Structure 1
C-alpha cells in the first residue's frame, strides 16, 4: 500500500479525489474536467484513475461505456493512518532532537 501523501502528491490524482469527494461522477465528466485544466489526455486521466483504484481509493460501477467513479469508504482510514503516524512522530519529536 502506498502512503496517502504519495497518492495525493500528484495534482491530477489530488483533483480526482477532490472531485469525487463531492459524489460519484462519470468517467467522461472526470476526464473533461481534468484534460481541460491540466493538459493531459484521456489516457493520462485513465492512468491516474487506475492508480487510485489499484490503491483502493476509488472504485466504479457500470460498464466500459458508462463508468461511474466514487471514493471508497476506506479512503478516510488510509488518510487517518498516515496522519496519525505523522502526529505520533511530531508528539515525540523532542526524543529525536540531538540524537
Structure 2
C-alpha cells in the first residue's frame, strides 16, 4: 500500500463515488446522478480511482461499466489491522477503569445505606 492510497481516498467526492459503486456496477451517468456533480467531474474521479487500482472498467457495447476492485480495500484493511489492536487495548483498559469506578461507587452507596 502506498501513500497514494490515502491521497486517493482523501477526496470526499471520490469516497462518494466508491460508496455508489458498493451497490454494484454503474455507468458514468448513473454516478452523475448519485454523486451530484457533472459528468466531466465523475469521469475525472473515476480515472484517478482506476489509476490507483480501486475501480475497473468493463466495456459493454457503447457503455462503460465501472465496479470496485476488492484488492486495495483488503490491503487497506490489513494495514489498519496493525493499529486496530492498539485501539482495542486502550478501549479494554478504559472499560476496566469504568468498571472499577462503578464498583467503587456501588461500594460507597452500600456503606452509606
Aligned CA-pair RMSD: 2.7
Structure 2's unaligned 5+ residue stretches are 91-113
Residue equivalent to 2:96: none
- What TM-score results when the alignment is normalised by the length of structure 1? 0.70
Deviating runs (4+, > 6 A) in structure 1?
none
Per the alignment, residue 43 of structure 1 pairs with 40
* d(CA) in 2 for partners of 1:29, 1:18: 13
Indicate the residue corresponding to 2:79 in structure 1.
Answer: 82
Which consecutive unaligned segments of at least 5 residues does structure 1 have? 94-99
Residue of structure 2 equivalent to 1:67: 64
User: Residues 51 and 85 from structure 1, CA distance in 2 versus in 1: closer, same or farther, beyond 3 angstroms?
Assistant: farther
- Tell me which protein shows more helix as a share of its residues: 2
- Mapping for residues 1-99 of structure 1, pairs under 5 Å: 1-2=2-3, 4-34=5-35, 36=36, 40-62=37-59, 65-87=62-84, 90=87
TM score, norm. by length of structure 2: 0.63
- The structure with the largest alpha-carbon Rg is 2
Matching residue of 1:97? none
Corresponding residue pairs, total: 89
